[in-house]
Structure 1
Amino acid sequence: MNIDNLEAFMYVVQLKSIHKAANALFLSQPTVTARIKTLERELNTELFSRQGRGITLTEQGRAFIPYAEQIIQTYKEGKKLMKDSNEQEEIAIGANVITSQYFIPFALPMWKKENLDVRFKFVSGTNDMLLEKLLQGQIDLAFIRDLSHDNLQRREVLDNTVKLVVYPGHPLLQENEITAKRLAEEPMVFFECGAFDWNRVHKLFEVEKVEPNIEFQVDHLEVAKSIIKSQCAIGFLPYLCIKNELFDGELMEVDVSHLIQIKQHIFLAYTKQEALNQIWSVIESSLTTFKQIDKNFLSIQ
């Protein structure tokens, strides 16, 4: 049984498309189709039913998946065993932009320190790009926002809730039960990014029929943060980018949970449990250390 035929089968299963599988394998569609047909002849059964241009798994095809996965995994393990003992093992990890900027620089040195014999390959990208790389087997793990996919497993790892922040000494810090009308009086910086639902912030003002005083509209978190620190405006920013400034007292959070709550989380996503098991202990340790600042911060409030 040809391992290439099995891999073609699993790519079609995961991507639910011969076209997408061909792109992922850098092959032509006829080549992928031929490999599937060869596998079907060897098994003497149909793995997919063809409906026009679409395909769906047959019952036999669905039943064969765990066996195909086991054969491919056994092959990979054997191939790994045959490698030169001096060759470093590589783990490929991806992260969306905000995690890449604010968590990965903290965590990656810790991972390497605990895994000296492992070479880490890291890529940054959009959530959609990372999902595609995961499904194609180009990366082993990815830090992304919540995405639902049949072949995707995930664990919640980081809080990235959006918070209203101001500079120290701002009058809002002394006020209780702040209203949308009161917020609209303050100059604001808006960070626009497709990864966050900023429509909910706009809706906060629309419901009260007031216009926010948006003095700055930017597409970079550090720019938005600097504007607030310079005491030119206030703004809603995701927690990961302001974590250190809150701890150091350079920025202050204003509680507006009675007006709006935008809870967001970063998830560690993967397609194969063994990929997570291989490095989960050191990732978990880095997450614990990263979050420890939060506990220290809360204890001195």
Structure 2
Amino acid sequence: MNIDHIEAFIYAVHLNSIHKAADALFLSQPTVTARIKTLERELGQALFKRSGRGIKLTEKGREFFSYAEQIVQTYEKAKKQLSKELIQKEIVIGANPISSQYFIPHILPLWKEALPDVHFTFITATNEILVDQLIRKEIHIAFLKEMSRDAICQSPVLDNSVHLVCHPDHPLANKKNINVGDLSEDSLVFFECGAFDWNRIHKMFEAANVSPRIEFRIGHLEVAKSLIQHNKGIGFLPSLCIKEELKKGTLVTIETDHILNIKQQVYGTYYGTNPPYLWDHLWNVIESFEEKSEQAEAI
């Protein structure tokens, strides 16, 4: 029984498609089909049946799937055990643009300090591209928003909730019990990117039957932040990008939790049932980094 044939079967199950499995494995669709057919002949059982445009496991296929995952996991563990002298010295990490700019530059030197013998490769991409790269095993770990995909494991790492911010001299800076009408009367710097559900902000104004005064539509976070710092309007920005400004007092938050509360997390993400190499080590450094950051903010 060939391990590559079993892996092709597992990918087809996770992705619910022979075609997607072929893409993820960098193989042709006929090759993946042939591997699964060979596996079925060896087992003497049909593992899939056609279901519309997709595929569906047979009863025997479902029964074999748990064994297949155990076989691959055992194989991977054995490879690591037998090659202790050749332990992976490189780890490839990906992050979405906001995590790349505001988290990775702080944590990457700490990872290197904790693991001096490891070579780190880092890439930036959208959430969707990062998930595809995880599945293709092009990267080991990614930092991105919450994603609902089969065989993708996620653990929350950072709070990146969205806050309404303004210049400290802005009239709304110290105002309490602000309503949507108050916000609609002010100039809004609207930063929008695919990492967050900005549609909720639009709906907030729609529900109050008012229209926001969007003076600036900005596709670059730093530009949006700069406009707000220069008192050109108010705006909703994610936590990671405004930590330093809030600490220095060049920006202040406007309390809006009573009308809109956008909680967001950055998740450490990997593909498969087993955490990748060095996951625990990297996670320990992150936890230590977060504890120090919280202590500094308390001071």
Normalising by structure 1, we get a TM-score of 0.89
Asked whether 1:192 is paired with 2:160, we answer no
Asked whether 1:91 is paired with 2:91, we answer yes
Change in Cα spacing, 1:40 to 1:86, as seen in structure 2 (3 Å) is closer
- Aligned pairs for 1:224-263 within 5 A: 224-263=224-263
Stretch moving more, 93-102 or 66-75: 66-75
Shift of 1:252: 0.8
Shift of 1:53: 4.6
- Distance (whole Å) between structure 2 residues aligned to residue 6 and residue 218 of structure 1: 48
Stretch moving more, 283-292 or 212-221: 283-292
* 1:9-67 superposed Cα distances (whole Å, 9 cap, x missing partner): 12212211111111222222111111111111112222212346532112322232343
Alignment match, 1:19: 19
- Distance (whole Å) between structure 2 residues aligned to residue 176 and residue 99 of structure 1: 31
- Distance (whole Å) between structure 1 residues aligned to residue 186 and residue 193 of structure 2: 22
Change in Cα spacing, 1:248 to 1:108, as seen in structure 2 (3 Å) is same
Stretch moving more, 274-283 or 96-105: 274-283
How many residues align? The count is 299
Code of the aligned partner of 2:215: E
- Distance (whole Å) between structure 1 residues aligned to residue 54 and residue 89 of structure 2: 38
Shift of 1:226: 0.7
Task: Please tell me whether the aligned partners of residues 11 and 136 of structure 1 are also in contact (alpha carbons under 8 angstroms).
Answer: no
Shift of 1:69: 2.9
Task: Please tell me whether the aligned partners of residues 107 and 289 of structure 2 are also in contact (alpha carbons under 8 angstroms).
Answer: no
Change in Cα spacing, 1:112 to 1:37, as seen in structure 2 (3 Å) is same
Task: Please tell me whether the aligned partners of residues 133 and 139 of structure 2 are also in contact (alpha carbons under 8 angstroms).
Answer: yes
Asked whether 1:174 is paired with 2:177, we answer no
- Distance (whole Å) between structure 2 residues aligned to residue 52 and residue 170 of structure 1: 58
Task: Please tell me whether the aligned partners of residues 189 and 228 of structure 2 are also in contact (alpha carbons under 8 angstroms).
Answer: yes
- The secondary structure found in structure 2 opposite 1:194 is coil
Alignment match, 1:268: 268
Code of the aligned partner of 1:7: E
Stretch moving more, 12-21 or 50-59: 50-59
Stretch moving more, 177-186 or 153-162: 177-186
Change in Cα spacing, 1:52 to 1:181, as seen in structure 2 (3 Å) is closer
Change in Cα spacing, 1:147 to 1:236, as seen in structure 2 (3 Å) is same
- Distance (whole Å) between structure 1 residues aligned to residue 251 and residue 122 of structure 2: 31
- Aligned pairs for 1:44-123 within 5 A: 44-51=44-51, 53-80=53-80, 85=85, 88-123=88-123
- Distance (whole Å) between structure 1 residues aligned to residue 199 and residue 29 of structure 2: 41
Alignment match, 1:205: 205
- Distance (whole Å) between structure 1 residues aligned to residue 181 and residue 50 of structure 2: 59
Alignment match, 1:133: 133
Shift of 1:209: 3.0
- Distance (whole Å) between structure 2 residues aligned to residue 160 and residue 242 of structure 1: 10
Change in Cα spacing, 1:55 to 1:184, as seen in structure 2 (3 Å) is closer
Residue segments in structure 2 that go unaligned for 5+ positions in a row = none
Code of the aligned partner of 2:191: F
Alignment match, 1:152: 152
- Distance (whole Å) between structure 2 residues aligned to residue 78 and residue 293 of structure 1: 39
Normalising by structure 2, we get a TM-score of 0.90
Task: Please tell me whether the aligned partners of residues 190 and 224 of structure 1 are also in contact (alpha carbons under 8 angstroms).
Answer: yes
Stretch moving more, 114-123 or 188-197: 114-123
Shift of 1:236: 0.7
- Distance (whole Å) between structure 2 residues aligned to residue 291 and residue 172 of structure 1: 32
- The secondary structure found in structure 2 opposite 1:275 is coil
- Distance (whole Å) between structure 2 residues aligned to residue 149 and residue 3 of structure 1: 24
Alignment match, 1:183: 183
Task: Please tell me whether the aligned partners of residues 192 and 219 of structure 1 are also in contact (alpha carbons under 8 angstroms).
Answer: yes
Shift of 1:79: 4.4
Task: Please tell me whether the aligned partners of residues 14 and 135 of structure 1 are also in contact (alpha carbons under 8 angstroms).
Answer: no
Shift of 1:211: 2.6
- The secondary structure found in structure 1 opposite 2:150 is coil
- The secondary structure found in structure 2 opposite 1:105 is helix
Shift of 1:161: 0.9
Code of the aligned partner of 1:199: N
Change in Cα spacing, 1:65 to 1:123, as seen in structure 2 (3 Å) is farther
